[in-house]
Amino acid sequence: MTTLLQSLLIAIRALRVNKMRALLTMLGIIIGIAAVIAMVAIGSGASKMISDQIASIGSNLLLVIPGSTTSGGLRTGAGGTPTLTFDDARAIKAECPSIGEVAPTVRGSAQVVFGNQNWSTIVIGCTPEMLAVRDWPLTSGRNLSPSDVDGATKVCLIGQTVAENLFGSADPVGKIVRIKKIPFTVIGMLEHKGQSPQGQDQDDVIFIPLTTAQRKVFGSQFPNSVGAMMVQAQSADVLKKAEDEVTALLDQRHRIGPSRERDFTVRNLSEILAVSEQSSKVMSLLLGAVASISLIVGGIGIMNIMLVSVTERTREIGIRMAIGAKQHDILLQFLTEAVLLTTCGGVIGMGVGVAGAMVVSKLMSWPTLISTQAIVIAFLFSAGVGVFFGFYPARKAAGLNPIDALRYE
């Protein structure tokens, strides 16, 4: 322990003698560590942004959408014909044990009018379960009720963007808006949700009872049919099971067999999440890999300077050996010096990296995540670079013959 402390003191002194050189040598490590820290912070910030957006859709969701149908040899595209019904939704809710809630929807766009303002928006017919499934609370008013759906009442929930455009800052609850000229009472206002992963404004929306949409607003040619169903599994663990249950049930209800093509699609939204998380992880990894290259370059710089230092101080090494320094004393001395260089560079680099990440997040309004894990790893890595690239010069110093070293001019 005392020898380690001693070699630390010797190393500090040796570095102080050549401050400028020490700083320049450290620069490689400073840049490398700063790049790693900043890149990882920005990368994980971006990945958090993506996963937040995806989580805003709702958690543990399956999306059931109508598939293609074939009639008279003509195949429609996916969702071309409304093959799903409200009864399908009820059946899923009743018969699939892994399912929490089911929210069948119909959607269309419509012109909405209030007073002398009007706005074109997405109108979604849905059931009260919609808010639970989408994890979407209200800021004021009340949710749709089962009786609204049963009685096809003319009430609606209004999104923030729509409210802003029609009402300005006034409270819309209790007001009457006209959707496709039909008067609707606003009974609640939805909380701000932000962009979807596709970049759409999720707040530009109006929710009305499913039955009202089917019978009065969109007047579907297939009564009782629904566009898409959002199915929430009871937990993330049973998501796959829920997917299988829903598929099996709908296969049975739609009489899907070898001779009949499946007329619906079940999509697992968590898969999308997993894929996008995967891709942002890969991005962070790539950024980190590029940054590590500069660390290696910095390490080679350290090795170079340490070799020069060993040559310059050959006589000093000779003196130390003559008066009793053993090989490992000399090895430790030069290794300590290299590690001190790289860890100092590492600490400075961390400061620069954190500052850089903060500047980027300010300028680009990107979130950045500075993890303590990344900092600890960067620190250990810089020390590791010191050991790795300092070992060869240190061993060269320790291997010198004391007689030759003493005679060295």
Partner 1 sequence: MTNVVRLDNVTKVYTMGDQRVEALKGISFTVRPGEFVSIMGASGSGKSTCMNVLGCLDVPTSGEYRLEEVNVGKLSRNQLAEIRNLKIGFVFQGFNLLARTTARENVELPLVYAHVPSTERRERAMAALAQVGLADRADHYSNQLSGGQQQRVAIARALVNDPAIIMADEPTGNLDSATSEEIMGIFQGLNRQGITIIMVTHEPDIAAFTGRQIIFRDGLIVSDAPNSTPRLAAKTEERKS
- How far from each other are the two terminal CA atoms of the chain, in whole angstroms? 33
Counting residues that bind partner 1 (by CB under 8 A) gives 22
Which member of 139, 147, 327, 373 binds partner 1 (CB under 8 A)? 327
| Binding status of residue 18 toward partner 1 by CB under 8 A | no
Residue 186's beta-bridge partner residues? Answer: 156
**Residue 325 binding partner 1, by CB under 8 A:** yes
Find out whether 250 and 264 touch, Cβ atoms under 8 Å: yes
Residue 229's closest CA among 257, 253, 258? 253
Which is nearest to 134 in space by CA: 225, 60, 242? 60
- Contact stretch for partner 1 (CB under 8 A) within 156-164, 194-202, 286-294, 327-335: 327-335
Q: How far is the CB of 360 from partner 1 (least distance, A)?
A: 43
Which tokens is 9 given? 């003191």
Q: 122, 256, 319, 387: which one contacts partner 1 (CB under 8 A)?
A: 319
Give the single-character DSSP code of 168. Answer: T
Choosing from 324, 363, 365, 372, the residue that interacts with partner 1 (CB under 8 A) is 324
CA distance 150 to 144: 11
Options 20, 74, 323, 363; binder of partner 1; rule CB under 8 A: 323
Query: Least distance from C-beta 406 to partner 1, angstroms?
Result: 7
Check residue 112 for interaction with partner 1 (CB under 8 A): no
C-alpha dihedral sign at 394, 396, 402, 407? negative
Q: Kindly tell me which of 298 and 318 has the beta carbon lying closer to partner 1.
A: 318
Q: Which of 204, 244, 251, 329 binds partner 1 (CB under 8 A)?
A: 329
CA angle 215, 219, 225 (to 5 degrees): 75
Amino acid at 166: L
Region of 77 on the Ramachandran plot (φ > 0 left; ψ -120 to 50 alpha; else beta): beta
Binding mask 362-391 for partner 1 (x = CB under 8 A): ------------------------------
Q: Is 406 among the residues that bind partner 1 (CB under 8 A)?
A: yes
Site for partner 1 in 256-315 (CB under 8 A): 315
Q: Would you count residue 90 as binding partner 1 (CB under 8 A)? A: no
| Residue range at the interface with partner 1 (CB under 8 A); choices 35-43, 155-163, 326-334, 379-387 | 326-334
Q: For the chain, what is the largest distance between any 2 Cα atoms, rounded to a whole number of angstroms?
A: 105
* Secondary structure (3-state) at 266: strand
Report the interface residues with partner 1, using CB under 8 A.
Answer: 2-3, 6, 13, 17, 315-316, 318-329, 402-403, 406
